[in-house]
Amino acid sequence: MAMFKEFKEFAIKGNVVDLAVGVIIGAAFGKIVDSIVGDLIMPLIGALVGKLDFSNLFVVLGNAPAGTEMNLAALKKAGVPVFAYGSFITVAVNFAILAFIIFLMVKQINRLKKEAPVVPPAAPATPEDVMLLREIRDSLKK
């Protein structure tokens, strides 16, 4: 029973809930970015470069069995080692877009945060010996 109570306190803490929400939103956001890259940006880049499908850019590093289709999925299924640089290009573009979007989000969040008002520092307390000297000076002026 004590273990359940301890787990409940842990799970309800703000940091754990925030982390869970962040992971869920991050997963959904990752799918959106994948779609933007795969469905919008990469076809445009492919059209500019020569209508290439980047996901099928690869170099065969081994011997393909006879009758195997020369596409990435079939070669991988047959166990042929392939250097799939097209997939890397797609993932790199995906990462660059995601990093840029996160940069913009953090920049906006920092801009929206209200800065705490600047409070001037309090004057340091006058040392006791200075106070004593001032009292002596004032009493001598009388």
pLDDT (tens digit per residue) in 99-114: 887 788 778 878 877 6
What tokens appear for 105 in the block?
């989000």
What whole-number distance in Å separates Cα of residue 80 and Cα of residue 61?
A: 7
pLDDT tens track for 55-78: 778 888 888 888 888 888 888 888
What whole-number distance in Å separates Cα of residue 10 and Cα of residue 78?
A: 48
What tokens appear for 16 in the block?
């754990």
Tell me the pLDDT of the chain averaged across its residues: 81
Task: Give the whole-number percent of the chain exceeding pLDDT 90.
Answer: 0
What residues are paired with 60 via a beta bridge?
A: 82
What tokens appear for 29 in the block?
């956001």
- The reply to whether the predicted model has a pTM over 0.85 is no
Domains of the chain plus CATH, in order, are 10-115 (1.10.1200.120)
